[in-house]
Chains A and B, each alone.
Chain A
Amino acid sequence: MLRIVNLSVEVDGKRILKNVNLYIKKGETFALFGPNGSGKSTLLNAIIGNPAYKIVGGRIIFKKTDITELPTNERVKLGIGMTFQSPPKIGGVKLIDILKHCAKLSGREEMILKLAEKLKMREHLNRSLNLGFSGGEVKRSEILQLMLMNPDFVLLDEPDSGVDLENIAIVGQAISELLERDKDDREKAGIMITHQGHILDYVSADYGVILYNGMIACLGDPKDILNQIRKNGYEGCLAKCLKDMI
């Protein structure tokens, strides 16, 4: 579904991603790991088309279309959707107004209230986006927006960071649904960034990948990789990956 070829990305004139290659098929979910500043968010932002992240080399192919030059809203119409690590606060723009736009993409207009209820965001509908939202509320609002967009390809930037144990179950279940993890014959695919990996208790992933220093460094079973990182740190995990390859 998504093919990333030799992708290099610059932010503020600084090269962050170096020749990244990734191929994700329909039905697959990737868990993306990596230390702070390694370029995980940069990769997802490049895929959704954030103009602050400049693609200086390589291509992004989605559903057989080269989307490298497409504006963000066109990519979204093709079926890509993203939850952000730290979305902006926008004064006067109400959550409900944004949700209506999200729902328009998928025809899920009637589901707005039901899903808002499910993600415990009913009370926030008439508030300005993210103004005064708690950390967990920001994350739930992001997931809610995506649930209403119902994209085919789901990009999740740390959906579990700062979310308490009770809410992580709600968020996890929503993501599972988004990615159709309970179905055998899945139409959806996606990439999910996580540090602690708590979300993996609720959302199964097919592969784990480590992004290190702007490069893809490891690919394998997500739980194995997470355990290696926990035990030996990123460096140790990379060393083991390298050894396994030889």
Chain B
Amino acid sequence: MSEGYDLEKDKLREIGIEFDPLKRSGTFLQRDQEVSTVATFYGGVEVMSIRDAMKKYDWVQDYFWKLVNREQDEFTKEADAEDVNGYFIRAPPNVKVEIPVEACLYLHRVKKQKVHNIIIAEENSELNIITGCTSHPAAIGLHIGISEFFVKKNAKLTFTMIHSWHNKIEVRPRSGALIEENGTFISNYILMNPVKIVQMYPTAYVNRNARVIFSNVIVALDGSTVDSGSRAFLREEGAIAEIISRTISKGGKVITRGQIIGESGGVKGHLECKGLILSENGEIIAIPELIAKRPNLELSHEAAIGKIAEEEIFYLMSRGMSRDEAVSAIVRGFMEVEVKGLPEILKIAIDKAIEEMRDAL
């Protein structure tokens, strides 16, 4: 019993889940379909299961399937079920909390874990969330996660998702975000462990003077297939999108997509995908798309895939590193994405998670 518990705790720590009131403003843990831990350590932020939220507020219902189409595919249809659970996290108007809320989804025994999350940052609020998704080493199954993010006027939401699955798990997140005037949505995604397949294409709808930043760090190990993209509709003047991805193949297959759609003049978007192939049988496919529907806007992309530059390895060896040390320093540097506006505490948590998982590479 205690051994299993420790194993689970270690696993959770790996994905940034601490259960520490000093480091987190709230916590949420869902095992399979059951919510086992909910706590808020800081007044103001609301953290509860989506089932409880629907009981508490009749308006929660109105936020369902607003940003993700329930008819989109077999997975969304599957998630549209009676036994769905998930989290509801909300920062009320003007509440600003830098200490992140943590939320964990743990797939243990069920064949299918179905999750529907609603996240709301009300006007002028600031909310940080670290969410970790993981599975029991022996689990076999499918995780479907619907997430709908509502970033209201002048609000800022930073959402960091760390995945740590096993090679018999199939993962199908379906996410949408609405960013209202002057709002900011920063979405970070980290995947460094084996997985059977992850396939997702989160979409942001960006209004006047609002901004979205998607940053993804993906490592695909042997036997893993990761098809991950980020999409932004720049709907009104002043909307900004930045999509950054760093992908590494260590034998797995990565399809990294990005799409920015400029629907209004005076918008700006940039897409950057960099890939590194570290193994003979790996594969990376980068598909950046820019769609401009108005004349006066600015969309750009850069994509580069390659291997590690010999010149850099040599340079570090001239400073006393062995070849292996040099390679790992460069790979680690490659994964370090500078996300502007990321709160320090979150940066530390992300670095720590990368550090923990990096050792397993």
Residues of chain A having any CB pair with chain B under 8 Å: 48, 50-52, 71-73, 76-77, 81-82, 84, 87-88, 90-94, 97-98, 101-102, 104-105, 128, 145, 149
Asked whether, in the complex, the Cβ of B333 is within 8 Å of the Cβ of A92, the reply is yes
Determine whether B311 belongs to the interface, using a CB cutoff of 8 Å to chain A.
yes
Per the bound structure, the CA–CA distance linking A105 and B315 in Å amounts to: 15
Q: Shortest distance in angstroms between A53's beta carbon and chain B's nearest beta carbon?
A: 10
A-B contact pairs, 19 of them (CB 8 A): A50-B314, A51-B310, A51-B314, A52-B311, A71-B317, A71-B323, A73-B317, A73-B323, A76-B319, A77-B320, A82-B318, A84-B318, A88-B311, A91-B333, A92-B335, A92-B336, A93-B332, A97-B329, A102-B319
Asked whether, in the complex, the Cβ of B332 is within 8 Å of the Cβ of A92, the reply is yes
Determine whether B53 belongs to the interface, using a CB cutoff of 8 Å to chain A.
no
B residues less than 8 Å from A88 (CB atoms)? 309, 311-312, 315
A residues less than 8 Å from B316 (CB atoms)? 90, 93, 98, 101
Determine whether B321 belongs to the interface, using a CB cutoff of 8 Å to chain A.
yes
Per the bound structure, the CA–CA distance linking A98 and B316 in Å amounts to: 8
Residue in chain B with minimal CB distance to A99: B319
Partner of A91, one of B318, B323, B334: B334
Asked whether, in the complex, the Cβ of A90 is within 8 Å of the Cβ of B333, the reply is yes
Per the bound structure, the CA–CA distance linking A50 and B315 in Å amounts to: 8
Residues of chain B having any CB pair with chain A under 8 Å: 309-312, 314-323, 325, 329-330, 332-336
Contacts A52-B311, A84-B315, A90-B312 given; does A73 touch B322 at CB 8 Å: yes
Q: Shortest distance in angstroms between A199's beta carbon and chain B's nearest beta carbon?
A: 21
Partner of B320, one of A52, A97, A105: A105
Per the bound structure, the CA–CA distance linking A73 and B323 in Å amounts to: 8
Residue in chain B with minimal CB distance to A94: B333
Residue in chain B with minimal CB distance to A87: B315
| Total A-B residue contacts, Cβ distance less than 8 Å | 68
B residues less than 8 Å from A73 (CB atoms)? 317-318, 320-323
Contacts A92-B332, A93-B330, A97-B329 given; does A149 touch B311 at CB 8 Å: no
Q: Shortest distance in angstroms between A210's beta carbon and chain B's nearest beta carbon?
A: 26
Q: Shortest distance in angstroms between A47's beta carbon and chain B's nearest beta carbon?
A: 11
Partner of B314, one of A52, A105, A145: A52
List 9 A-B pairs, minimum CB-CB distance, nearest first: A92-B333, A92-B336, A93-B333, A72-B317, A73-B317, A105-B320, A101-B320, A88-B312, A101-B319
Per the bound structure, the CA–CA distance linking A223 and B330 in Å amounts to: 42
Q: Shortest distance in angstroms between A228's beta carbon and chain B's nearest beta carbon?
A: 33
Asked whether, in the complex, the Cβ of A101 is within 8 Å of the Cβ of B336, the reply is no
B residues less than 8 Å from A102 (CB atoms)? 319-320
Asked whether, in the complex, the Cβ of B314 is within 8 Å of the Cβ of A72, the reply is yes
B residues less than 8 Å from A145 (CB atoms)? 319
Residue in chain A with minimal CB distance to B335: A92
B residues less than 8 Å from A92 (CB atoms)? 332-336
Contacts A90-B333, A91-B333 given; does A72 touch B310 at CB 8 Å: no
Taking A52-B314, A101-B325 as known contacts, 7 extra A-B pairs with beta carbons closer than 8 A to each other, sorted by chain A number, are A72-B317, A88-B312, A90-B312, A91-B334, A91-B336, A92-B333, A94-B333
Per the bound structure, the CA–CA distance linking A149 and B314 in Å amounts to: 16
Asked whether, in the complex, the Cβ of B321 is within 8 Å of the Cβ of A101, the reply is yes
B residues less than 8 Å from A52 (CB atoms)? 310-311, 314
Q: Shortest distance in angstroms between B13's beta carbon and chain A's nearest beta carbon?
A: 24
Asked whether, in the complex, the Cβ of B336 is within 8 Å of the Cβ of A90, the reply is no
Per the bound structure, the CA–CA distance linking A48 and B312 in Å amounts to: 14
Per the bound structure, the CA–CA distance linking A145 and B317 in Å amounts to: 13
Per the bound structure, the CA–CA distance linking A14 and B351 in Å amounts to: 45
Per the bound structure, the CA–CA distance linking A72 and B317 in Å amounts to: 6
Per the bound structure, the CA–CA distance linking A1 and B333 in Å amounts to: 37
Q: Shortest distance in angstroms between B176's beta carbon and chain A's nearest beta carbon?
A: 31
Residue in chain B with minimal CB distance to A102: B319
Residue of B317, B320, B321 contacting most chain A CB atoms (<10 Å): B320
Asked whether, in the complex, the Cβ of B317 is within 8 Å of the Cβ of A76, the reply is yes
A residues less than 8 Å from B319 (CB atoms)? 76, 98, 101-102, 145, 149
Asked whether, in the complex, the Cβ of A90 is within 8 Å of the Cβ of B317, the reply is no
B residues less than 8 Å from A48 (CB atoms)? 318
Q: Shortest distance in angstroms between B271's beta carbon and chain A's nearest beta carbon?
A: 18
Contacts A51-B310, A52-B314 given; does A128 touch B320 at CB 8 Å: no
Per the bound structure, the CA–CA distance linking A18 and B192 in Å amounts to: 50
Per the bound structure, the CA–CA distance linking A149 and B321 in Å amounts to: 12
B residues less than 8 Å from A98 (CB atoms)? 316, 319
Residue of A52, A91, A97 contacting most chain B CB atoms (<10 Å): A91
Contacts A51-B310, A87-B315 given; does A76 touch B320 at CB 8 Å: yes
Residue in chain B with minimal CB distance to A91: B333
Per the bound structure, the CA–CA distance linking A95 and B317 in Å amounts to: 14
Per the bound structure, the CA–CA distance linking A166 and B314 in Å amounts to: 31
Q: Shortest distance in angstroms between B339's beta carbon and chain A's nearest beta carbon?
A: 13
Residue in chain A with minimal CB distance to B329: A93
Per the bound structure, the CA–CA distance linking A73 and B316 in Å amounts to: 9
Q: Shortest distance in angstroms between A233's beta carbon and chain B's nearest beta carbon?
A: 33
Q: Shortest distance in angstroms between B337's beta carbon and chain A's nearest beta carbon?
A: 8
Residue of B311, B317, B321, B334 contacting most chain A CB atoms (<10 Å): B317
Residue in chain A with minimal CB distance to B246: A92
